[in-house]
Structure 1
Amino acid sequence: MRFEHLGVSPRIHPDAVVAPTAVISGDVVIGPDCQILHGAVVTAEGGAITLGTNVIVMENALIRATATNPAHIADHVLVGPMASISGAVVEEEVFLATGTRVFNGAYLGARSEVRINGVVHLRTTLPPDSTVPIGWVAVGHPVQILSPDRHEEIWAAQRELDFPGYVFGLDRETPDLMVQLTERYGRSLARHVHDRRVD
């Protein structure tokens, strides 16, 4: 399914294959020989998304962009089932295994690999040829790649990256943070009420 969002329709190369149950919404460019499989969602939420050539987006994966962080996926990238990429740059020949999470403002260098359920956190730079092991977390710049049992170290780096401030423009110490966050984000997402199916 393809949708016009905020007045912009997806542009899909004729050699790309998009499954009928995939959702492509808004300012999205999909290059030649890409494969977008069943249940995948590629949604431009106010920012552009570009997929190069031979990008594979597997079942139920999510790629989204924001007004602050467009998403760019370079050539020969595999985005595994149930992976999620939000407003990040992924260079060529990157492998993102099942369940990986890549957050806003992240940069993944060429030929890097994020293994099953690995995380590349907000505003993190993963150098070329890096590996994030199964379930581990890459955080910061310069990057630290930490096992999940090192929560205090992950949290110390993550706190400095300021997820609520960077993504939602809200101070983490706001007493009613989730009230403000859900109301503000909900208003933004409500712009989909004017989407128009174009296929």
Structure 2
Amino acid sequence: MLFEHLGASPRIHPEAVIAPTAVISGDVEIGPDCQVLHGAVITAEGGTITLGSHVIVMENALIRATAADSVHIGDHTLVGPMASISGATIGDEVFLATGTRVFNGARIGDRCEVRINAVVHLRTHLAPGTVVPIAWVAVGEPVRMLSPDRHEEIWAAQQELDFPGYVFGLDRDTPDLMVQLTERYGRSLARHADDHPAG
């Protein structure tokens, strides 16, 4: 289903195939020979989303742009089932396996492979050809690859990257952080109240 959001409607190349249960909302451009499968959600929340040619977005994947971070996915890239991309730039011929998570401001170079349940964290940059192992976390620039059992190192890197500050503009030490975050983000998401089917 295609939705107009904030005055912008999706633009789908006539050679792309969109499953009837996929949701595409806002300023989204999908190139030729792309396949967007059942349950996928591609939503431009104030930023733009562009998919090159021959991009495959599998079942229940989520691709979201923000006002601060648009999304670009290069040619011949596969976004696996239940993968999530938020405000990132993905190169050509990239494989994002099932359950991968790519966060705001990340840049993934051409021919990278992010394996099952791996994470590419906020503002992390992967050089072309990089492989992130199953369930590992890639974090920072220069990138560090950390296995999931190294939580303290991952947490230290996350604090430096400042997720609440970068994504929501809030200081992590704010006493009522979640109150401010949910109210601010809720107001932003409420802009969907005026969405309507495109076409």
Question: Which residue pairs with 2:64 in the alignment?
Answer: 64
Question: Which residue pairs with 2:143 in the alignment?
Answer: 143
Q: What is the one-letter code of the residue matched to 1:195?
A: D
Distance 2:135 2:152 in 1: 16
Q: What is the one-letter code of the residue matched to 2:142?
A: P
Kindly report which structure 2 residues correspond to 1:64-83, keeping only aligned pairs within 5 A, or say none: 64-83=64-83
Structure 2 stretches of 5 or more lacking a match?
A: none
- Relative to the length of structure 2, the TM-score reads 0.99
Report sequence identity in percent: 79
Structure 1 ranges of 4+ moved more than 2 A: none
Give how far 1:158 is off: 1.1
Question: Which residue pairs with 1:130 in the alignment?
Answer: 130
Structure 1 stretches of 5 or more lacking a match?
A: none
RMSD, aligned α-carbons: 0.5
Kindly report which structure 2 residues correspond to 1:14-163, keeping only aligned pairs within 5 A, or say none: 14-163=14-163
* Residues 38-86 of structure 1: per-residue CA shift (max 9 Å, x gap): 0000000000000000000000000000000000000000000000000
Distance 2:192 2:72 in 1: 22
Distance 1:104 1:64 in 2: 9
Question: Which residue pairs with 2:4 in the alignment?
Answer: 4
SS in structure 2 of the partner of residue 14 of structure 1: coil
Question: Which residue pairs with 1:197 in the alignment?
Answer: 197
Distance 1:86 1:39 in 2: 17
Select between 150-159 and 119-128 the one with higher mean Cα deviation.
150-159
Give how far 1:198 is off: 1.6
- Relative to the length of structure 1, the TM-score reads 0.99
Aligned residues: 199
Q: What is the one-letter code of the residue matched to 2:119?
A: V
